């Protein structure tokens, strides 16, 4: 799921500021949306939604529908943390894929109470929109983590604290991970940190 589709479940709208548009800006956006619609341009932004939101006086809905439009640019710390998290998940998934079925089953019993714990689920679209937006851009636009490009990327629940606990276990075994991947015990320890 794109960040623009990560909307709605939380009515608080945390981190989403109402978009204040001048009459001129509304006119420009309406015209651009009309041109985009007429030319049938494939885009992450739905011109019909943009036109409806503006013409009905609900321009605030643009930042709810497309969280990447609201707020300021993410901090360098956020970008670095997302990069570390995505790298950790890449190594976890690649290491898991190299294991035998028997070894994978051991991890399933030892660290997988939620099922599919060994796959990157994304970030929460309601409460971690900044992180979701950065991850989406790294994956979809920069193509740095192509293995995640077909994933929904909206975890539908906050996961950042889990990832931070996982990183605390993963980072000491980074050398081992880069040399040949993680073993069963390392993967299990990292996934258990997530479940705490």
Query: What DSSP string describes 109-171?
Result: HHH-TTS-TTS---B-TTT-HHHHHHHHIIIIIS-S-GGGTTS--B-SS--HHHHHHHHHHHG
Q: Are 67 and 129 in contact (CB under 8 A)?
A: yes
Encode the chain (196 residues) as per-residue pLDDT tens digits. Answer: 444 444 433 333 444 455 678 889 888 989 999 999 999 888 888 999 999 989 988 888 887 777 667 666 788 899 999 999 999 999 999 998 898 988 888 887 655 544 456 789 999 998 998 999 899 989 988 999 999 999 989 999 999 999 999 999 999 988 877 778 899 999 989 998 988 7
Q: What residues are paired with 5 via a beta bridge?
A: none
How many angstroms separate the CA atoms of 76 and 70, rounded?
17
What is the model's pTM?
0.66
DSSP string, 55-76: HTT-THHHHHH-GGGSSPPPPH
User: What is the residue extent of each domain of the chain?
Assistant: 3-69, 76-195
Q: Does domain 76-195 have CATH number 1.10.3190.10?
A: yes
């Amino acid at each position: 799921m794109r960040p623009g589709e990560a909307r709605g479940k939380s009515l608080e709208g945390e981190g989403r500021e109402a978009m204040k548009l001048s009459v001129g800006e509304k006119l420009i956006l309406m015209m651009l949306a009309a041109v985009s619609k007429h030319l049938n341009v494939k885009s992450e932004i739905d011109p019909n939604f943009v036109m409806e939101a503006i013409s009905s006086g609900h321009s605030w809905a643009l930042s709810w529908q497309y969280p990447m439009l609201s707020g300021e640019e993410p901090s360098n710390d956020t970008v670095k943390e997302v990069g570390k998290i995505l790298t950790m998940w890449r190594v976890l998934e690649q290491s898991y894929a190299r294991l035998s079925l028997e070894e994978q089953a051991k991890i399933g019993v030892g660290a997988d109470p939620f099922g599919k714990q060994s796959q990157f689920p994304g970030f929460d679209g309601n409460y971690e929109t900044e992180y979701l937006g950065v991850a989406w851009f790294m994956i979809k636009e920069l193509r740095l983590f192509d293995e995640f490009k077909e994933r929904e990327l909206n975890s539908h629940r906050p996961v950042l604290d889990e990832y931070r606990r996982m990183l605390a276990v993963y980072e000491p075994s980074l050398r081992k991970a880069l040399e040949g991947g993680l073993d069963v015990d390392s993967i299990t320890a990292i996934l258990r940190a997530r479940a705490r």
